[in-house]
Amino acid sequence: MNYSAVFALGVGVFVIIFFGRIYLSRFKMIGEPNPARHVGDEKPLWQVFYFYSPRCSACKTITPVVEEHSKQYKQISAVDISTDLELAQQFHIRATPTAVFIENDIVSDVQLGSGIGQTMKDFIEKHGSAN
C-alpha cells in the first residue's frame, strides 16, 4: 500500500473541510441581529463592516477601495482585526477580507475574499446615502 498517497489524500480532505467550514460559516450570520448595534444611538438603515488584516495580501488591494467608500458614507466601517479583535469576535470573523452587510439592523449578507469590492458597490447603489 502506498502510504504517501493515503497521507496526501488525508491532508487534502482536511484542507477542503477546514476551508469549507470557514466559507460555510458566513451563512450562519445571515438573518441575525447586528452584533454591533448600540442601544439608544441613531440606527442607520444600512451598514457595512469590512474586516481586514494589514498582513493579508487580498486585503491590501481591497482596503483602499473600501476606505474611499467610507469617506463618502459614514455607514461603512473598515475594521483592522489586529487592533479591534473584540469587534471581529462579535461578528465571528474567521478569515480576511470579510464584509458584513446590514440592513435594518439585521445581517443581510456576508462576503469573503476579493469579490467584496463589487458587492459593496452594488450594495451602495441599492441603498444610496439613505441613513
pLDDT at position 39, please? 44
Beta strands 46-52 and 76-80 are parallel
Of 36, 44, 56, 103, the active-site residue reads 56
Using DSSP, state whether 106 is helix, strand or coil.
strand
Q: Can 59 be counted among the known catalytic residues? A: yes
* pTM value > 0.85: no
Q: Can 56 be counted among the known catalytic residues? A: yes
Domains in the chain and their CATH numbers? Answer: 28-127 (3.40.30.10)
pLDDT at position 26, please? 64
Q: Which residues of the chain have pLDDT under 50?
A: 39-40
Of 29, 48, 59, 112, the active-site residue reads 59
In tens, the pLDDT along 98-119 reads 999 999 889 999 998 888 888 8
Whole-number Å distance between alpha carbons of 130 and 51: 23
Rounded to the nearest 10 degrees, the angle between the axes of helix 57-72 and helix 116-127 is 20
